[in-house]
Amino acid sequence: MFFIFGVNSDRKEIGSFGPVICGCCGRYGRYQVYMTYMCLSLFFIPVLKWGRKYYAETSCCQSLYELDPQAGRRLQRGEQTEIRPEELALIRRGGSSSGNAWQGWTDQPVVRYCPACGYETEEDFEYCPRCGRKLEKR
């Protein structure tokens, strides 16, 4: 006889909480809270779950936090409706790929220029495409 079993990681949405002022971008956002877990299934019926982890993602800039598991469980059971900052550990700061305006000051482009012909570029060139001199950073 065959056993059909599989191990999957699964994700369960818990809900959204907020509004909160985002610690990453300073705007109002909400936390989208979800749980991930490993699941062993036998004949497609889940029999064992383990490795539960809770995460909170902000809706404003998609910063990702790992949520304290006890707080996650309380949120799931509806015993707690707010997330306190000390229950969160930042995993990924959001917004960097979308290039939001608020971030511009941290991310000044490096301007390179050619001392020979005055060519300027924000591209990551080492040498001047016009005359071949080594570019200098401003």
Q: Which two tokens stand for residue 6?
A: 């599989």
The residue range among 31-39, 41-49, 50-58, 77-85 that interacts with Zn ion, by the rule CB under 5 A, is 50-58
Q: Listing from the earlier edge strand, what are the strands of the sheet with 112-113?
A: 120-121, 112-113, 136-137
Using CB under 5 A, which of 56, 67, 75, 114 touches Zn ion?
A: 114
Using CB under 5 A, which of 61, 75, 83, 88 touches Zn ion?
A: 61
The residue range among 10-18, 36-44, 98-106, 128-136 that interacts with Zn ion, by the rule CB under 5 A, is 128-136
**How far, in Å, are 24, 42, 107, 125 from residue 85 at the CA level?**
12, 39, 26, 42
Question: Given phi > 0 = left and psi -120 to 50 = alpha, else beta, which region is 132?
Answer: left
Instruction: Please tell me the count of residues contacting Zn ion according to CB under 5 A.
Output: 15
Task: List residues near Zn ion by CB under 5 A.
Answer: 22, 24-25, 29, 58, 60-61, 114, 116-117, 119, 128, 130-131, 133
